[in-house]
Amino acid sequence: MDSSNYIDIHIDTKLNWKRHQLIHQSRLEKIKNSPPIVPSPSTSLLDLQKTKDRTKAHYQKEYIEKIKQQNNALLNRLVKITTASKNKRSFTPTLKSLNINKRIRESQRITEENMRLADRISHRKSTLSFGSWEDSYRQAKKYKRSISKILLQ
Q: Could you read off the pLDDT of 6-38 as tens digits, one per residue?
A: 556 666 777 788 888 999 999 989 888 887 766
Q: Is residue 47 part of a domain?
A: no
Whether the predicted pLDDT of 150 surpasses 90: no
pLDDT 10s digits, 112-143:
999 999 998 888 877 777 788 889 999 999 99
Report the distance separating Cα 149 and Cα 145, nearest Å.
Answer: 6
pLDDT score, position 100: 84
Range(s) of the domain holding residue 10: 1-34
Q: Is residue 133 part of a domain?
A: no
Most confident region among 14-28, 47-61, 89-103 by mean pLDDT: 14-28
Q: Is residue 28 part of a domain?
A: yes
Q: Is residue 104 part of a domain?
A: no
Q: Is residue 5 part of a domain?
A: yes
The mean pLDDT value for 32-51 works out to 66
> Do the beta carbons of residue 73 and residue 12 sit within 8 Å?
yes
Nearest to 80 by CA among 27, 152, 8: 8
Q: Is residue 75 part of a domain?
A: no
Number of domains, the chain: 1
Report the distance separating Cα 28 and Cα 31, nearest Å.
Answer: 5
pLDDT score, position 62: 87
Q: Is residue 30 part of a domain?
A: yes
Whether the predicted pLDDT of 1 surpasses 60: no
Q: Is residue 7 part of a domain?
A: yes
